Every structure is written in C-alpha cells, then in structure tokens.
C-alpha cells in the first residue's frame, strides 16, 4: 500500500474545499444558487466532506469510477441516513474512450428463506412493522460488492481498493459532529434507534436523548469494519467476523439471513435502458429498478406536447405531466419486478408507439381519477433506480450513482460490533397484491417477495447524451418521487433551456396514481393551482420533492454542477 498516497488522502479529506472557477450568472428566479463551473472534474453529492473526497481522487489522477468508490464509502460515514455499506443501489458508468455505458446492479437481495407471505399477519394482511422495522425487512447488502466490482472493472488502475476505502475509514475514526442533515434527521429516527441497544449506543445520548448540534458521535466500530474491507476487499464484509456479526444481529431481530446468503451475494452488470427525447439520448437504469423504464416512458408521452411553448410549470404542462405519470405508475405496479425472476416488457414500455397510445388517453382539459386508470399493454410493442451523486472526470467519463437504506437510517438496526446500519429494503416488495409500501407505491405478483429476489426500486441514475457526447449526469433520492424528479430535470434542461442550478431549484410536481393527488412544491402560483383544480386534480402542497445532484457537460468540455438546495450540507465541487 502506498503510505504517501494515503497520507495525502488524509490531508485532502480534512482540507478546505478547493476553489472553483467563476460560476455562470443567475438568469432565472429559480436559481437561488449558481452552478459551479470547472474544466477538469466535477463531483456533486449530498454531503460536503464526501464531495471533497471525490474531488481529491480526481485531482490525484483517478477517474470518475475511482472517485465514485471513495465517495460511496465516505457517505457511509458522513450521511448515515442514506449513505451506506449496509444497503444497496445502482451505478451507471460511461466510458468515454469506448463510447459505452454499463449498469451495475448492487441492489439488496432477499435472504434465501424468504417466502411470498413473509410480511403478512395472521389475518393475511400486510404488516408494515415486519417489512420496515423487523429483521425480516433487511435484505442482503450489496454496496460493498458493487463498489468493488466498479473499481475492479472500470477503475483507472492508479489506486488500490484499500486506498479508496481509506478516506471513509479516516472520517469514521474521527467520528461525526452532529450538524446539518444529521441534526435534522436524527430526531425522526430516534424512536427506532431506541429499540436497539447497538444503535442507541451510537446515535443517541447515554440518557436516551437525541444528540444535539455539536455533539460527537463515535464511529469506532464502523472505522474497524472499513479497515477490514480495505485490507480484505469485499470478502472481509461478506465472510468472516463482520458477516457473522451482521447475521447474528439480523437473526436476533427476527430475520432469516444466513452466512450463506452473504457469501453468495453478487453484484451484476446489466445493459442500461435507453430512449430518446427531442434528439437527446437518455440512458438509465434497467430493472430491477423501475426508474429508467418509466423516466423514458413519461418522456416519450411528453414528447408529443409543446412544453416549451406552454411554459415552465404552466397549468397545461403540469396537467400533461401528471397524467403521463399516472399511466407510468400504473404500468409500474403491473409489470415491473426482478428480471431474473419475471418477464419485464421493457422494450414495450419504452416504445414510442406505446407512448402514442397512452398519450391518446389523456384529456387536455380533464384529470382522470386514479380509479379509472388501468395498466396498459406494453407487451404488444415488444420486439425480439436514497442518496445520489454524480461525477464527471476530465476525459468525459461519468458516474451516476444512487444507493440507499430505504427509510432514513434503514431499519434503524446497527449490526452490533460493526457500526453498520442495516437497510429495510425488503419493504419495496409488494407484501400483498394491491398493498402499498411506505411510499404509497402499489405492486403485484411481479414484485412479490421471494428467495434471493431483488425488490423493485425507483432509483433512476441517468445520463443524457447529445450527438454521442455526454451532456448530463443526474439522479435523486426520494423514494417514489425519484422518477418524476429526474424527468423534470431533463425537461427543464432540454425543453426550457435552464442551467443545472435552475433546473434543480425550479418547483417540482409529482403524481404517482395512488394516493390520488397531485403533489406540488411551494413556488407554483396560486392561479396555476386553481386551473389544475378546475381540471379535476386534487392539489396538495409539499415542502420538498426529491434532492437531485446534477452535472452538465458542454460540447467543449466545460462542466457545470449543482447540488440541490432542498437539503442542508450538499456540495458541488470542481477544478
């Protein structure tokens, strides 16, 4: 191991942020923060220290994948409610030299003993406690395997895996000072932490109270786990003492995970799903993420409307978007699941012809009640996606990565002796046909629980290309709102010509069919709301929808990045 390089890492991790080039001017009232501009590399994450870790890797000669691996491990320390090694996610990697994009699926899997009725009570009804807070909710984590696979196949070769884990381990040894997002989110998770002594010891005060701004959280166990991963690779997580402690904690909480489940976990590469929108190529995550398919399905429907002429967030545009979203979410409930277990009519869902049939169902003046909407028939058009970060390097290589624990802090269970917060990702299965998960999303047999299955996700890491060149890397957390957040950012950039800061900070809207309501953020005019209500929409105002992190790349290689102002502590950095 290169000790000099590790020492350099330690200096960079705790150094002040690198100054970036002069940002572009604000040209819209939606841009309350200006984008960061750079020529050689850009990292945008939901936590400042992790952004700096990624930028330091780029500055030391790493590529976007190297930086992504380091960021992934750093966020497991600095953004504990979502960054993780006890969860899973999806990564899109674009190799500029090969003009090729690949998708790495490191979604959690259900333990082998999982059955279809695992989340039902004695009356055969879905039991939310079982699927969200018990040991049964915990899927086999995929993050460590996914990050190692990305490094092994697509890293620059200039760093060992241990060197990329090292900044996260250093941050863990330092511990976490409560502030920003951690201060905001700990009070919400405190009741769940209180159920588990292993969690309370770390994330609550000795008297059981909620840590306050300025308090120090000791993360020594997590630092030791990261040191083991650095020394042994993914095997140090999936076998041996760390794995034994994870299994013991899950089983003590009523779960069914075994050592064999961990030892047999594999991250897999998949072919991305792709489509086009007004001459731009959209590349996103395939199943078991529903994100890519439905981002493209919604964009295909919207392509038939004059969104630019109608204006950003006009009543007409919001109506058309909401009606398109309802149709996509109806298809999601009926057709999407783990492609290793069910046939997903993916080509049909992203077909332009199928979008034409769906668009014809939309009235220009009247909202359709959710009860009147049924899934379409995409198979007729067949032919033989927690926290998100985006990274682009000087060569145009790009990573769009979304990973999660599901609910904030996942199940709330820290595997005793490891510091690892464990996910509650199996709530993303359909516990019963027609039952809703935490985010209100419906599901059917295609997404039923089962042995070794990967639950359906909405995570939507997405890349956009124009004339074969990378144009945009984006994605967002937000559960069921991820798909519509990513869609609106693409529309805001392509149709309305906004820069990345403007595109992200413009008010958003979301309609997922059930509950039967159109959610909008503050900032959309009262007149527009009245027009939408006159069309039959039940409009509900929400404080925030999503929290995207986006990088744009111009044809001459200039990078502009913006982190979302909806969450404290985010940071875009470049050089």
**Cβ proximity of 115 and 449 under 8 Å:** yes
- Is residue 102 among the annotated active site residues? no
Spatial separation of the C-alpha atoms in residues 411 and 422, rounded to whole Å:
6
Residue 164, both tokens: 């990329």
What does the DSSP assignment read for 185-253? HHHHHHHHHTT-HHHHHHHS-TTSPPP-TT-EE--HHHHHHHHHHHHHTTHHHHSHHHHHHHHHHHHHT
Give the number of other CB atoms < 10 A from CB of residue 30: 20
* Under 8 Å between Cβ of 331 and 297: yes
* 329 vs 480: CA distance, rounded Å: 9
What's the rounded Cα separation, in Å, for the pair 441 and 131? Answer: 14
CB 528, CB 549: distance < 8 Å? no
Task: Using DSSP bridges, classify how beta strands 216-217 and 462-466 pair: parallel, antiparallel or unpaired.
Answer: unpaired
User: What is the three-class DSSP state of 549?
Assistant: strand
Marked catalytic residue, from 101, 109, 228, 386: 386
Q: Is the dihedral of CA 518, 324, 430, 291 positive or negative?
A: negative
Please give the Cα distance from 489 to 503 (Å, whole number). 5
For residue 393, what are the contacts with CB-CB under 8 A and spacing of at least 6?
40, 41, 58, 62, 63, 64, 67
Sort 258 into a burial class: Cβ within 10 Å, 0-12 / 13-18 / 19+.
middle
Greatest Cα pair distance, the chain, in angstroms, is 66
Cα distance between residue 323 and residue 366, in whole Å: 9
Q: Which long-range contacts (CB under 8 A, 24 or more apart) does 367-374 make?
A: 367/319, 367/322, 367/323, 367/518, 367/532, 367/535, 367/536, 367/537, 368/323, 368/326, 368/536, 369/516, 369/536, 370/326, 370/513, 370/514, 370/515, 370/516, 371/516, 373/326, 373/327, 373/330, 373/513, 374/330
Active site residues: 386
């Amino acid at each position: 191991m290169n000790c000099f390089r590790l020492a350099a890492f330690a200096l960079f991790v705790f150094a002040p942020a690198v100054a970036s080039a002069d940002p572009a001017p604000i040209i819209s009232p939606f841009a309350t923060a200006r984008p960061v501009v750079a020529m050689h590399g850009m990292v945008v994450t939901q936590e400042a220290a992790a952004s700096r870790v990624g930028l330091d890797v780029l500055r030391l000669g790493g590529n976007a994948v190297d930086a992504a691996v380091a960021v992934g491990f750093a966020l497991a320390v600095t953004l504990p409610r979502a960054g993780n090694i006890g969860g899973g996610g999806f990564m899109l990697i674009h190799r500029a030299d090969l003009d090729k994009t690949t998708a790495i699926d490191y979604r959690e899997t259900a333990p082998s003993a999982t059955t279809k009725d695992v989340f039902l009570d004695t009356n055969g009804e879905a039991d939310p406690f079982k699927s969200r807070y018990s040991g049964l909710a915990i899927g086999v984590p995929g993050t460590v395997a996914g990050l190692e696979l990305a490094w092994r196949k697509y890293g620059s070769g200039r760093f060992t895996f241990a060197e990329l884990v090292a900044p996260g381990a250093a941050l863990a040894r330092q511990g976490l000072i409560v502030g920003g997002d951690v201060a905001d989110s700990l009070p919400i998770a405190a009741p769940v932490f209180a159920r588990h002594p292993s969690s309370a010891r770390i994330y609550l005060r000795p008297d059981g109270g909620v840590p306050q701004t300025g308090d120090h959280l000791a993360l020594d166990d997590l630092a030791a786990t990261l040191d083991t991963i650095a020394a042994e690779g993914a095997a140090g997580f999936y076998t041996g003492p760390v794995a034994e402690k994870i299994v013991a904690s899950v089983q003590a909480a009523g779960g069914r995970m075994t050592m064999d489940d961990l030892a047999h976990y594999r991250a897999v590469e998949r072919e991305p799903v792709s489509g086009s929108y007004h001459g731009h190529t959209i590349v996103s995550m395939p199943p078991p993420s529903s994100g890519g398919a439905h981002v493209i399905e919604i964009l295909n429907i919207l392509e038939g409307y004059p969104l630019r002429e109608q204006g950003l967030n006009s009543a007409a545009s919001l109506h058309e978007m909401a009606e398109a979203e309802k149709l996509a979410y109806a298809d999601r409930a009926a057709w999407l699941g783990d492609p290793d277990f069910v046939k997903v009519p993916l080509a049909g869902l992203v077909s332009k012809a199928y979008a034409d049939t769906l668009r014809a169902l939309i009235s220009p003046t009247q909202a359709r009640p959710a009860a009147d909407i049924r899934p379409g028939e995409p198979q007729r058009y067949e032919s033989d996606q927690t926290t998100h970060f985006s990274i682009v390097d000087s060569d145009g290589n790009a990573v769009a990565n979304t990973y999660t624990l599901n609910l904030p802090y996942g199940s709330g269970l820290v595997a005793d002796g490891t510091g690892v917060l464990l996910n509650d990702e199996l709530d993303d299965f359909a516990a019963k046909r027609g039952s809703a998960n935490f985010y209100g999303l419906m599901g059917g047999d295609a997404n039923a629980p089962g042995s070794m299955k990967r639950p359906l996700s909405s995570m939507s890491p997405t890349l956009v290309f124009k004339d074969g060149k990378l144009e945009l890397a984006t994605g967002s957390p937000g559960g069921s709102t991820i798909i519509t957040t990513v869609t609106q950012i693409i529309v805001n950039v392509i149709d309305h010509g906004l820069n990345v800061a403007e595109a992200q900070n413009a008010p958003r809207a979301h309609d997922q069919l059930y509950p039967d309501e159109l959610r909008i953020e503050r900032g959309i005019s009262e007149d527009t709301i009245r027009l939408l209500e006159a069309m039959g929409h039940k409009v509900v105002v929400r404080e925030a929808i999503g929290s995207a992190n986006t990088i744009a790349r111009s044809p001459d290689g200039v990078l502009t990045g913006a982190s979302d102002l909806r969450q404290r502590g985010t940071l875009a950095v470049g050089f």
